[in-house]
Structure 1
Amino acid sequence: MSTFAIGDIHGGLKALVQVLNKLEVTEEDTLIFMGDYVDGWSESAQVVSFLIELSKKINCIFIKGNHDVWCEEWLKDESVNPTWYMHGGKETIDSYDGFTAAEKSEHLTFFENLLLYHLDDANRLFLHAGFTSMHGVVKEMFPGNFYFDRTLWEMALAMNVTIDKNNPTYPKRLQHYAEIYIGHTPTTNFGIPTPMNRANVWNVDTGAAFKGKVCAMNIDTKTYYQSDNLPGLYPDEKGRN
């Protein structure tokens, strides 16, 4: 039995399928999706349909990303967040062309049921972005931080990694969990095309929204699998810029 954390997809169905084929998952495995299923490439609606069907065959845990929040709002009442529209929302709206009202309703239910975070039996935390409470996710006062916050990752990047976890100067946010897995901030922002690890935080967003790849990591072995670069899979598209 293996558990895989899968980074941001951003409408790149072809990349997602590539990665899943490399994993060779079985019915005993668990897939934890870190959010941002939509916005960027042309197959956002198709990604959601694919994930709904996949979850009927394999144990899937779906985390909510900020782009998923915007898409949920649009599916609910057709409200278009201007920021969303400029950052992949237009492509997502276009991808729903030809979808029936029943199919859109099924997708809305999918988005409404997404988790803000997941904590497993080994005290490993999975969430899209971060949190700010020094007391951990259960004390987070602003739920939007789970899918918008970047300070958790920024803090991890700035840390002196030689500090022992039991040292009083060690960030209290990180002391609550054995490991923390996130997406949201592409590792390609730092010139790194693969997953990044700082302290006990693992970032598995390897830039699929832009010129990077969809990534899946085995959380026990830390072996990771990646798709081709998204622009190569969608040569007639620009993705998010």
Structure 2
Amino acid sequence: MSRRGRLLAIGDIHGCHRALRSLLARLSPNRGDRMVFLGDYIDRGPDPRGVIDTLLAVRRRVMRCTFLMGNHERMLLDVLEGRNLPLYLANGGLVTLLAYMTEGQLRLPASHRRFFNGLQRFHATGSHIFVHAGLRPDCPLSQQTEEDLLWIRDAFLASDADWGKTVVFGHTPMRKPLLQPRRIGLDTGAVYGGVLTACDLHTRRLWQAREPNRD
């Protein structure tokens, strides 16, 4: 590890709590590191609530953590506000709703509500732009819509636009990490039988872990 610490980006977790814990054990993050989680912590996988508990524990331990909003967190927030339940259920949200159900009522711990409400839409450093899904080509970062940041796919992936920084993203599952000069994609389909991936952006070293029984 360099003296300045690592800049670690972590791809889509989707309720794969055991994969997350295994990955964190391999990373052994410390207070010298900076960690950016790319969103989609919940839905589809077996233990979304456990994932959030662990992420909160990581933030207490590592301190310099940034948590981005994914489209799945946006859908959960919509449901909590009484909107778009059919869309959420169609995108694997039932497992998360059941995880937070108590006596027939949806009850999130206050710490989890604060976590979801505090998620960032993007995070920029001097060399990188972190975002869940990607960026709309030919559109300045300041003018990107939430829908672009959380949902875009084909228009971003097909573009060779240069935003002046490397864009680090998740959202689109890939068999292996995408490591290009202008783009780094880290959703390697942990919930679909792939792996959960972390990358140190200073060195582009990778760490990976697999959720048991997801193949």
TM-score strictly above 0.5 = yes
Identity %: 25
TM-score, length-scaled by structure 1: 0.79
Runs of 4+ in 1 over 3 A off after TM superposition: 77-80, 97-103
Which residue of the partner structure matches residue 192 of structure 2?
210
Is the 8 Å Cα contact of residues 43 and 95 (structure 2) preserved in structure 1? yes
| Alignment pair present for 1:143 and 2:130 | no
Using the TM superposition, give the Cα deviation of residue 71 of structure 1 relative to its aligned residue in structure 2, in angstroms: 1.5
Q: Alpha-carbon deviations, 1:110-148, whole Å to 9, x = none?
A: 11111100001x2310000012151421122x2211010
Structure 1 or 2, whichever has the larger Rg, is 1
Is the 8 Å Cα contact of residues 38 and 132 (structure 2) preserved in structure 1? yes
Distance, in Å, in 2 between the alignment partners of 1:198 and 1:44 is 30
Distance, in Å, in 1 between the alignment partners of 2:34 and 2:146 is 25
| Alignment pair present for 1:186 and 2:173 | yes
Q: Give the letter for the 1:53 counterpart.
A: A
| Alignment pair present for 1:124 and 2:111 | no
- Structure 1 or 2: more strand by fraction: 2
Using the TM superposition, give the Cα deviation of residue 78 of structure 1 relative to its aligned residue in structure 2, in angstroms: 5.4
Which residue of the partner structure matches residue 220 of structure 1?
202
Gaps of 5+ in 1: 157-170, 189-193
Q: Give the superposed CA RMSD.
A: 2.2
Matches within 5 A, 1:90-169: 90-98=94-102, 103-120=108-125, 122-140=126-144, 142-156=145-159
Which residue of the partner structure matches residue 22 of structure 1?
26
More displaced, 45-54 or 4-13? 45-54
Q: Alpha-carbon deviations, 1:142-185, whole Å to 9, x = none?
A: 221101001354224xxxxxxxxxxxxxx4x42x2321100000
Distance, in Å, in 2 between the alignment partners of 1:206 and 1:114 is 22
TM-score, length-scaled by structure 2: 0.88
Distance, in Å, in 2 between the alignment partners of 1:184 and 1:102 is 27
